[in-house]
Amino acid sequence: MVHEITDNDYAFPPGTVAIEDLQARDETVRTILLPRPSRDPNDPLVRHLAKKNWALWRKYLNFGLVCYYTFSVFSLPNPNGPNASITVAIPTWGPMNEELGFTYHELNISYALGCAGVAIGAVLLTPFALKFGRRQIYITSLLLQVGVCIWEAKLQTVPELYLVTFLSCFLGSLAEIMIQMTVADVFFIHQRGAMNSIFIFCQQIGTAVAPVAAGYITTWLGWRAVWWAMTISLATGLLAFVFLYEESKCFSAPTEGVELEINKETGASERPHENHETKKKPEIESDKQPSEMTTLDKLPPLYDVDIDESIPSTTYKQRLLQFTVSHGSISQLLLHTYQPFHVMIYIPGILYMAIVYGVSWAVMTIIGTNMATFMPAPPYNFSASGVGLMTLPVFVGTAIGMAIVGPSSDRLILYLAKRRNGIYEPEMRLWLLVAFIPLIPTGLMVAGCGFQYSLPWPIIAVGFGAASLGITPAISVSLTYVTDAYTEILGDAMVGITFVRNIPSMVIPFFLLPWISRMGLLNVYIVVSVISTVIFMITFIFIYHGKRIRTATATRYRWFASRQFNDRI
């Protein structure tokens, strides 16, 4: 149900919702379920306790499979991770150089081709996920990546290296985009912060922990064994998706409910007066004049929904054979190959979050590149397994960040919404992002000084860990902000974000070492610290003026939303 944005100061722009009902009958604050679930037992958002519906275990099973997909894809030589230098590929680079004669320049070119593969894949493959659903695309992606890994284990020439890296990243480009769509399919607004934190955590398992195993496998069994291990991992995921993953895309109409109204004097979401002595559906009443009230979207009158028993639940076999196709022509499919760039131009919130996301991964790229370049050299002389172990501080920093940001993000928005009469603004999440900003320049300076003055490696490890701890909220919160504020165009938004993020990731490996040679490593870290801090500080503009920006671009947002395929997203 689409509502026009008016000049009324209390009209809700995209993303602003009533998430807390302060006038619940039991006189406790109740969280309103948004997006609105339907009464269809096959709707992933339904959480009624009836037997025939999407019980919590089904939601978590689906999300668990998606997390496994994330881990597997981010373990590959894929710029979906912060850098090729902290995936399973990097511990194999030295042995590949010795056995096949691949130069590090050629390996860097393969990384750049991987970045190009991610950018191109995001643009070309995402429309198919929007059109044909999630299950088919996940399975196809895994099947093809199994083949690519087998090829990687047998490669002999530089052209093969370039091609398999490009294909791996082309197929893996779906990881970030589709997982955000899956989170929006299955979870409510007040759950998305925690789910995105788990998603980022799984990224880091793939990009920081997998290289440790890859380093030891390379040392014990040779570099080709790494790719056979990845083949087994992806094949296991493929079987799990074929037999366990259910389509999360839903076409059901949202639940009809009572209308909440916005009091112009307080800005609070209010229920109409209800007759507590009867069981009748509440009627809309108000003592206010029409000029004093603004109608909000219809929201569920309860905090759960009653299943419509007339709608049959699909069987296990039906769910696995389900082929979901959105209504829309081929021209509409092609539309989504270029609309993401229009979205970036016309909606500043998406563009800025893409920049935040890109800068975050750019910093991680610098960390990873320097780790791979300087740790094997004197005075550290790390082996392949040692370089892999140096990714653990990054993982620890991310794990701590996720443990803090995940639960805190969702609790914070409920707390702030309660203070604002039950109204949730996506900008409420951004406070966590700015709270961690000081850790980024601090960590970079510690690591930079460690490299510059040949300090003991634990100092460098602490610097990397602190920087990753500071960056983690930026990655998680920026994605959740876009998911909450621009849900109806999430697919297009994530394509744009992925494309922008890969620009610095593609450029940095080529220019970083010459830049360090000219300026000195410590000075480079100082410049990176200043640039990243300035960009992250712009977040304050969105904290204080983000709602106005969303209101100003609401008409354009609705227009983009009207061009989406006909489903909940």
pLDDT higher for 399 or 294? 399
Across the chain, which distance is largest between two alpha carbons, in Å? 83
pLDDT in tens, 175-191: 777 888 888 888 888 78
pLDDT-derived band at 121, boundaries 50, 70, 90: confident
pLDDT in tens, 10-69: 457 888 888 766 555 554 446 666 677 777 777 777 655 444 457 788 888 999 999 999
DSSP characters over 496-562: HHHHHHHHHHHHHHHHHHHHHHHH-HHHHHHHHHHHHHHHHHTHHHHHHHHHHHHHHTHHHHHHHHH
pLDDT score recorded for residue 31: 67
pLDDT score recorded for residue 179: 82
Cβ distance 108 to 510 under 8 Å? Answer: yes
Q: What percent of the chain has pLDDT over 90?
A: 30
**Spatial separation of the C-alpha atoms in residues 64 and 70, rounded to whole Å:** 10
Nearest partner of 446 among 462, 429, 426, judged by Cα: 462
pLDDT in tens, 304-343: 566 667 777 777 777 777 766 666 667 777 787 889 899 9
pLDDT score recorded for residue 439: 97
56-250+333-562 CATH fold: Growth Hormone; Chain: A; (1.20.1250)
pLDDT score recorded for residue 460: 95
Cβ distance 117 to 167 under 8 Å? Answer: yes
**Spatial separation of the C-alpha atoms in residues 345 and 350, rounded to whole Å:** 9
Q: Average pLDDT over the chain, rounded to whole?
A: 79
Amino acid at 324: T
- Mean pLDDT lowest among 209-213, 404-408, 548-552: 209-213
- Cis before 441 (ω within 30): no
Q: Phi and psi for 456 in degrees, rounded to 5?
A: -55, 145
- The whole-angstrom distance between residue 490's C-alpha and the CA centroid of its chain comes to 11
pLDDT in tens, 360-379: 988 988 887 788 778 888 99
pLDDT score recorded for residue 388: 72
For residue 471, pLDDT over 90 is answered with yes
For residue 555, pLDDT over 80 is answered with yes
Task: Let me know how long the chain is.
Answer: 569
pLDDT in tens, 483-524: 899 988 988 898 889 888 878 877 777 788 889 999 999 999
How far apart are the two ends of the chain, measured CA to CA in Å?
A: 12
Q: What is the pTM of this model?
A: 0.78
Classified as helix, coil or strand, 454 is coil
CB neighbour list of residue 419: distance below 8 Å, 6 or more residues apart? none
DSSP letter at 36?
P
pLDDT in tens, 59-113: 889 999 999 998 888 776 544 443 333 356 666 777 888 888 888 778 777 877 8
